[in-house]
Amino acid sequence: MKANSPKMKIAVVGATGMVGSVMLKLLEERNFPIKEMLPVASSRSVGRELVFKGKLHPIIGMQEAVEAKPDIAIFSAGGSTSLEWAPKFAAVGTIVIDNSSAWRMDPSKKLIVPEINAQVITKEDKIIANPNCSTIQMVMALAPLHSKYTMKRVVVSTYQSVSGTGIKAVRQLENEIVGQRGEMAYPYPIHKNALPHCDVFEENGYTKEEMKLAREPQKILDDRTFSVSATAVRIPTAGGHSESVNVEFANDFDLKEVRNILHQTPGVTVQDNPDTNTYPMPMYAHNKDDVFVGRIRRDETQPNTLNMWIVSDNLRKGAATNAIQIAEYLLYNGLV
């Protein structure tokens, strides 16, 4: 963080949740300049305290947070909460960075991955949407390749951690591992299983998660000329999402050049050496901010088509890190 950056009054809405906790951790790790921290949560948590930068901070409710008029409010509290409260924060001059799906496809709101499209943010933007976790890691790898070779069609299958569902799902997995009965986040056991079911099913037979992967990349890249077909699967890993991505380009590519482009992309780390069994895995991405790309190889069944394996920590770059990078961009560029 720049030494002369002005200090901000920051609200973290959903501060006691899994993503909110990581947001607080990252604000401290990245030394974001804060003059006042406002942890915000539901009424059942109000009055409790949490530790930030070695000091106890009381958890406050939504209305009190609005009345405090923070410079930035970073939301990770669910879509219905965002729809109700984000406009109230915006009305008092607060910039909201929202991690839910509430505003992502609203044509009046920007959907931002800072490395790709932060330049579209203006001072008029008071509610800024953070993309879906699976979308973020995919577009981080695809955006630089799209610029060079022009994507036509993407087929993605995801292998998503239970942490993407939330603490209830993490506890379900932990209970099942030790043979305990408990509350179920999923309709079936997740331990020793794989559920082709992330989020709710829509009328077209795809899940909401799969349709996020289809729609959000087009908005982020401001390009409707390519299409995305997705299958999203929940697997019994505690953290980190993985994706098998098959992308057809309009133009041919050289594999060495593809690796070089990805290697030079900020926020992307290439792990791709079959000779040494080097490839991305959730256990290596855990607690890291980069997107890891490997298994880079040509699809030999049709021209101009590439296969990749993409892994990232869904609570960090897939959620908290991306949101805080947006806040940093606002600060660096005098937009707040």
Q: Average pLDDT for residues 312-335, to the nearest whole number?
A: 97
Q: What's CA 108's distance to the chain center, in Å?
A: 20
Contacts of residue 275, Cβ cutoff 8 Å, sequence gap at least 6 = none
Domain of residue 221, residue span: 134-314
Is 241 annotated in the active site? yes
Q: Are residues 183 and 265 in the same domain?
A: yes
Q: Which of 57, 146, 198, 241 is catalytic?
A: 241
Q: Average pLDDT for residues 96-124, to the nearest whole number?
A: 98
Q: Are residues 93 and 176 in the same domain?
A: no
Is the residue at 2 inside a domain?
Answer: no
Q: For position 4, what pLDDT does the model report? A: 66
**Cα angle: 7, vertex 53, 19; to 5 degrees:** 90
For residue 57, give the nearest of 69, 49, 48, 47 by alpha carbon.
49
Q: Are residues 115 and 194 in the same domain?
A: no
Q: Which tens digits make up the pLDDT trace of 231-252?
A: 999 999 989 999 999 999 999 9
| Cα–Cα distance measured from residue 36 to residue 290, given in angstroms and rounded to the nearest whole number | 29
pLDDT band at 2 (very low <50, low <70, confident <90, very high): low
Q: Are residues 127 and 139 in the same domain?
A: no
User: Looking at residue 305, which CATH number applies to its domain?
Assistant: 3.30.360.10
Tell me, yes or no, if the pTM score tops 0.85.
yes
Is the residue at 3 inside a domain?
Answer: no
Q: Which of 57, 133, 146, 198 is catalytic?
A: 133
Q: Which tens digits make up the pLDDT trace of 253-304?
A: 999 999 999 999 999 999 999 999 999 999 999 999 999 999 999 999 999 9
For residue 127, give the nearest of 92, 105, 98 by alpha carbon.
98
Q: For position 91, what pLDDT does the model report? A: 98
pLDDT band at 6 (very low <50, low <70, confident <90, very high): confident
